[in-house]
Amino acid sequence: MREAINQKFNYNEFVKKAEHRKVLIKEKGRISFEVHNRVNKGENINLILENISSEIMESGELKIFILEKYEQFSKIKENNTIDKKTIYKSILGAIIASVTGLLFLKAIIQITGRFSFFLLMPVYIINYFVIYGITGKTRDNLIVFLAVFISVVISTVLPFILLT
């Protein structure tokens, strides 16, 4: 088997490259973990770039990797931030989404003449996009998730109250 591999390419070189790749993946994991911790502490990018070094990665490659991870983790941190602005926008979004979901659900019930729990999926999706459009945050944010959930419940219950 080794002879067949050696005919195509150098086996020792292949193993050496595989080991280097394994070490590089571990190093990127370590750096990613460090950047994540520093972003959560609130450090700025310049401080992070100064304090993280690597003997395995080249400086240009390291800088690009740190910048990518900093941007990724900063977006996640911003998305998960709960402040007054997010709460107010989520409440407004829940009201608007409830009305939108209600109109959609009522129209479908009138067209088909029946209610189905499968209709909750499109209502959820519609309500989520309405709230996401208003808040700019995803359902990973607890307040946005609760606003979507509440708006779906309201959208589901209101047609039955209004139709009776």
Q: What is the pLDDT of residues 35-72, one digit of tens each?
A: 999 999 989 999 988 888 888 888 889 899 999 999 99
Interatomic CA distance for residues 139 and 128, integer angstroms: 8
Residue 8 has what pLDDT? 65
Interatomic CA distance for residues 4 and 109, integer angstroms: 68
Residues 6 or more apart in contact with residue 139 via CB below 8 angstroms:
128, 132, 145, 148
Residue 142 has what pLDDT? 94
Interatomic CA distance for residues 40 and 115, integer angstroms: 46
pTM: 0.75
Instruction: Give me the count of residues in the chain.
Output: 164
Angle subtended at Cα 96 by Cα 93 and Cα 102, rounded to the nearest 5 degrees: 130
pLDDT digits (tens, 9 = 90+) for 105-156: 888 888 988 878 888 899 999 999 999 999 999 999 999 999 999 999 999 9
Predicted confidence band of residue 162 (pLDDT cuts 50, 70, 90): confident
Residue 7 has what pLDDT? 63
- Please name which of 113, 135, 109 lies closest in space to residue 122, comparing C-alpha atoms: 109
